[in-house]
């Protein structure tokens, strides 16, 4: 069998980078998308990955825009072939209590976190179904499961991701196209570091494992779900949160 191609949206971010590396180490040909505004920075990122032994293709892509995503995915196909594995990682926060939240904060989060999942998946799904193999893995959040003060936008987008996953799982199952969600807890990352220090310490105190998660904690589950023999796992929402929330 030829090498599987894995497309990782937001692949140059903190969690995305570790996912790209672990998929590469597991034998996948990896493509990472980055924001068009970060294309130059992504070149240094790519060089750093190469130096560390990971040969990763980078494609700039505005995932909030359907046509732009279609074009970026066509570019990726030309370079490495169609995606067998799609990992939807790209996401942002714009935290504010609802009474203070602006429509811009709402729409930015829904577009970046949820529309992006439709835009990327819609542009790879037909190929996966036609070829009879696909792994769609979407990164949601503990806060899509339990909610979080200040995150009505983010929690709605992340809960929406798992609804998307469960429906897609039913559409793909007969064609060996699985769809699963991973719901990370609080992970060491700039996103979590942006939470005010006092609030962050209160949150860490609620984690039974007594530490923040690491990007590698998430990436190992991605690699597990991407495997050829993971085809009986579909429609699942796998928590990776140190015991912070159990359902």
**Annotated catalytic sites, by residue?**
154
Q: Which residues in 99-118 contact ligand CAA (CB under 6 A)?
A: 100
**97 versus 201: smaller Cβ distance to ligand CAA:** 97
Helices (H), the chain: 14-25, 39-51, 66-80, 103-110, 116-122, 125-131, 142-146, 152-172, 190-193, 197-204, 215-226
- Please count the residues of the chain: 247
**24 versus 185: smaller Cβ distance to ligand CAA:** 185
Say whether residue 171 binds ligand CAA (CB under 6 A). Answer: no
Binding residue for ligand CAA, selected from 25, 48, 52, 199, defined by CB under 6 A: 199
Shortest distance, position 199 Cβ to ligand CAA, whole Å: 5
Binding residue for ligand CAA, selected from 95, 219, 225, 242, defined by CB under 6 A: 95
Say whether residue 192 binds ligand CAA (CB under 6 A). Answer: yes
Binding residue for ligand CAA, selected from 142, 168, 219, 240, defined by CB under 6 A: 142
CB 235 within 8 A of CB 165: yes
Q: What is the dihedral of CA 122, 116, 221, 173, to 10 degrees?
A: -20
Say whether residue 141 binds ligand CAA (CB under 6 A). Answer: yes
Q: Determine the Cα angle at 242 with ends 236 and 245, to 5°.
A: 60
Say whether residue 143 binds ligand CAA (CB under 6 A). Answer: yes
Residue 187 gets which letter from DSSP?
Answer: B
Q: How far apart are CA 243 and CA 188, in angstroms?
A: 16
Shortest distance, position 84 Cβ to ligand CAA, whole Å: 27
Positions that interact with ligand CAA (CB under 6 A): 93, 95-97, 100, 141-143, 148-151, 154, 186, 191-192, 195-196, 199
């Amino acid at each position: 069998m030829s090498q599987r191609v894995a497309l990782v949206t937001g692949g140059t971010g903190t969690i995305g980078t570790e996912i790209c590396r672990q998929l590469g180490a597991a034998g996948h040909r990896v493509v990472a998308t980055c924001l068009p505004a970060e294309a130059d920075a992504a070149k240094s990122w790519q060089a750093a990955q190469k130096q560390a032994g990971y040969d990763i293709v980078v494609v700039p892509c505005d995932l909030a825009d359907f046509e732009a995503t279609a074009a970026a995915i066509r570019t990726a196909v030309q370079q490495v072939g169609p995606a067998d594995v799609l990992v939807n990682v790209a996401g942002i926060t714009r935290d504010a209590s609802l009474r203070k939240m602006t429509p811009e904060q709402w729409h930015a989060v829904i577009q970046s976190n949820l529309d992006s999942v439709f835009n990327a998946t819609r542009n790879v799904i037909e190929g996966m179904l036609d070829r009879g193999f696909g792994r769609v893995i979407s990164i949601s959040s503990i806060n899509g499961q339990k909610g979080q003060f200040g995150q009505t936008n983010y929690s709605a987008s992340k809960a929406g991701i798992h609804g998307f996953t469960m429906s897609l799982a039913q559409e793909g199952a007969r064609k060996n196209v699985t769809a699963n969600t991973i719901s990370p807890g609080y992970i060491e990352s700039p996103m979590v570091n942006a939470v005010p220090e006092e609030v962050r310490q209160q949150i860490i105190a609620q984690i039974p494992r007594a530490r923040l998660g690491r990007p590698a904690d998430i990436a190992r589950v991605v690699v597990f779900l991407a495997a050829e023999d993971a085809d009986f796992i579909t429609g699942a929402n796998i928590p990776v949160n140190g015991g912070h929330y159990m359902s």
